[in-house]
Amino acid sequence: MTGHHRKKDEFEAFYRQWYANGVRYGRGRHWLQQWEAEAATQEAMSQMWTKWEQLYELEPEQRKAYFLRILHRRCVDIIDNNVRQRRIAAHVARDQINGDDPALGRGRESQVTDGEALPENAYEITQLKELMAKLPEQQRLSIQLEHDGYPAAERAMIKGISENLERQHLARGRAKAKRMRDEGTGQ
């Protein structure tokens, strides 16, 4: 058996041994959903494969430690992304509640006189998340990045498009979100 086939076979054995363990690690240690844990494990395995030439020379315990370190980073990245998505939805909901009429400089919060008036907020946040999920990816990303405080030039650079196209995505995304929201409320 040639060295290349031997290395490939060893990686396949490593993959079979550690894929399921990686998914369990993501679900148990980081409380990821099944598909998130599988994605993190697959990303870690693909990184292992690209570096297998160097890792092949290491002891099995060192390979395992390297894999778990990569997997841990991928899980943390997924958690960070989930937190960021929740934060964006909460900010958008807050802006909608607090800033309904920017011309007047006040929103609905000034109309609230008791604690019973705001239980709808949880429902509105859920609706807003669903609405954002229905937007095309480029428009949704533009709205999220703009809400995080990125100027148009940086948003365009992040997305790899021109600044004018980025502004177009943002304007169309806002218009589409407003139209979908108005259709949903019957206005």
Q: Quick one: pLDDT at residue 5?
A: 82
Helix count and strand count (H, E) for the chain: 8, 0
User: Per-residue confidence of the chain (187 residues) as pLDDT tens digits?
Assistant: 566 788 899 999 999 999 999 999 999 998 999 999 999 999 999 999 999 999 888 999 999 999 999 999 999 999 988 888 887 777 776 666 555 444 444 445 555 544 444 555 666 767 777 888 889 988 988 888 888 888 888 888 888 889 999 999 999 998 998 888 888 755 4
pTM of the model: 0.50
